[in-house]
């Protein structure tokens, strides 16, 4: 992925066709999972605000759950429809970063990652090897976006 700032608050992003396909399929799969109630893969995307107070937590959920869900779905839509070369305003780039982070969080849940140092070399024969590689790629893409936004 190449991110180039070409005007103030405007960026050009170029990605390979395989990255485009990967991002689209990951976003599409997560879109399906995110709307299902009590799906363990997306539990980190909707954290419990008050674990020791179920009443306060239900109230909190009633206030933010729909908005948070819509925010996640909107961000995933950007990632799902990403083309190989595209121009983004800074706010759109932030939404793209949000989408990649959402996918990475769900994937981290699937891989049972709780800390960044949980990543270790996985043998190619390991059944989750490809998922670990994708997790690492998503982390690198997040780093590129953060770096571009700091310039």
Per-residue pLDDT of the chain (151 residues; tens, 9 = 90+): 899 999 999 999 999 999 999 999 999 999 888 887 678 888 888 888 899 999 998 999 889 988 999 999 999 998 888 888 889 999 999 999 999 999 999 999 888 887 665 556 677 887 888 899 999 999 999 999 999 998 6
- Find, among 100, 129, 105, 128, the residue nearest to 116 by Cα: 105
| Surface-to-core class of residue 150, CB atoms within 10 Å of its CB (0-12 exposed, 13-18 middle, 19+ buried) | exposed
Residue that the structure tokens 């908005």 belong to: 67
Sheet holding 2-7, edge to edge: 2-7, 10-14, 85-89
Q: Give the span between the Cα atoms of 24 and 40, in whole angstroms.
A: 21
Q: Give the span between the Cα atoms of 63 and 23, in whole angstroms.
A: 30
Global confidence as pTM? 0.85
What tokens appear for 51 in the block? 């674990």
Residue 42's CB is within 10 A of a number of other CB atoms, namely 20
């Amino acid at each position: 992925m190449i991110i180039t700032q070409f005007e103030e608050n405007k960026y050009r992003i170029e990605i390979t066709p395989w990255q485009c396909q990967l991002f689209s399929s990951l976003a599409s799969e997560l879109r399906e999972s995110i709307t299902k109630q009590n799906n363990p893969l997306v539990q980190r995307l909707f954290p419990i605000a008050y674990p020791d107070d179920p009443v306060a937590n239900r109230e909190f959920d009633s206030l933010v759950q729909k908005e948070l869900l819509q925010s996640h779905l909107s961000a995933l839509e950007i990632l799902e429809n990403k083309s190989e070369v595209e121009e983004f305003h800074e706010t759109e780039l932030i939404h793209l970063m949000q989408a990649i982070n959402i996918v990475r969080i769900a994937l981290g849940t699937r891989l049972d990652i709780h800390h960044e140092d949980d990543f270790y070399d996985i043998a190619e024969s390991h059944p989750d090897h490809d998922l670990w590689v994708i997790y690492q790629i998503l982390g690198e893409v997040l780093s590129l976006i953060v770096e571009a936004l700091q310039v």
